[in-house]
A and B are shown apart, each in its own frame.
Chain A
Amino acid sequence: MNAKRFFASIMMLCMLVALGAGCAKKTTDSMPASATKVEISDKDSDWQSQPAPARSMTEDELRAQQREQAQRELGNMIFFAFDSFELTPESREVLNAKADALKKYSLFTIVIEGHCDERGTSEYNLALGERRAKAAQQFLNQLGIPDNRMTIVSYGKERPLDPSKTESAWSKNRRDEFKIQN
């Protein structure tokens, strides 16, 4: 009995080995021709000129992606009345959302640009643009965003969004823009 069992086990083992070998052969046969070519070209390649490791690429990409996302969430402008730097209720809502976004994207610092329409004169508008940017900065600061994450630049009426000479263009141009700095 034992000898029979032993013989049967040997037979099964042989069959399994044969089956395994057959499978392996099949795998080799099904490999595309190009796979072999790649292997050959790898041998000849210069290791120094290989692209950066995938991990660091992902980090850069991730940061760029985050930056883009942050800019999208922070990019909404706020608008002002003529010769005014008072924040409207709508502006306050926009700034509330910005404060949340700035907390979420804590790596980034922002520039707040103050802009004016063309009706005022250049020098007074530079001061007014600063007041507009400052109003947003102070509001964000009250919502917990430290001042050192926010820089102010007033462009006065130097960079209109819409150069037309209409009330609708002027109201677009009286604005604060928010841009990621780093």
Chain B
Amino acid sequence: MLSRTAANLFWMGRHLERAETAARLLDVGERITLLPNTPEGYRNEWESLLRASGAQAAFAERYGEQINQENIVSWLFFDQDNPSSVTSCIERAREGGRIVRTALTSQVWDALNTAYQELRALTRRPRGQLDTPMLTDFTTRHGSTVRGAINATQLRNDGWHFINLGYSLERADATARLLDVKYFVLLPRVEFVGSGLDNYQWQVILRALSAHRAFHWAYGGDVTAAKVADFLILNGESPRSLLTSLYEAVWHLDGLVKRYGETVQASASAKARQTLDSLMARDIEAIFDEGLHEFLSWFINEVAGVSTAVHEDYLSGRM
């Protein structure tokens, strides 16, 4: 497979997952604003979204001090100046898909292209007609259709591994960042920890990850910080947990190593496995002792390292 083709497939997977992340961030923000208010008002929560997506500076450049719902929705969904907005991600995923059209089945292309065409129709409608839940639904629905087409129709070859590697690394990164939103929300008022408000916020996180029902099936009983964090970080059944996401990345990297044999450098596979081992050696108490934010920062950094190694091993086109 051409290195450029592999790179496009990898980034197509990443952008598709990232579009969903942007939509989930919107959903988290929307629900946090429905909470009985914190003394700082909702500005604080919206700001936490920007911090979690690492976009404070870029947002300020575009909208100044106006951190309000309307601007945030524009930024996270519509704004083409934001490389992580839903619109940017779907456009890039579709552009990448168009470039490697030959590596996709017609069903996958159809699903991807339909998402893009409908997005274009959506952006032409007056903003007043578009509420946040609708935008979130739009994104997750199309995301699921594309993913379903990939799983149902793509050959299980190296291209499939690259797409899924993109998905899983992006998902690992995204769950970590969504968890970090929680950290930023709570940071100013440590005394909230363990309060009713705190628990409600954890539930919001679960809901944003489409995991609130799954959580109850898996754990039962009260929502506590330890249980939710365990579910989203260390639970191997939870589809978006850090462990599951990383495990899938390792699985796809192993698939590439098996397929390509020993002549092709495999630093990404080694790095991913090392991170996975290190993750599995922890329990939730250890993570809280270490500090959730510190742990998440470590993890995000490790995932970025794996991604760099994927580029070096496969996508850079060594001569």
Question: Do A and B share a complex?
Answer: no
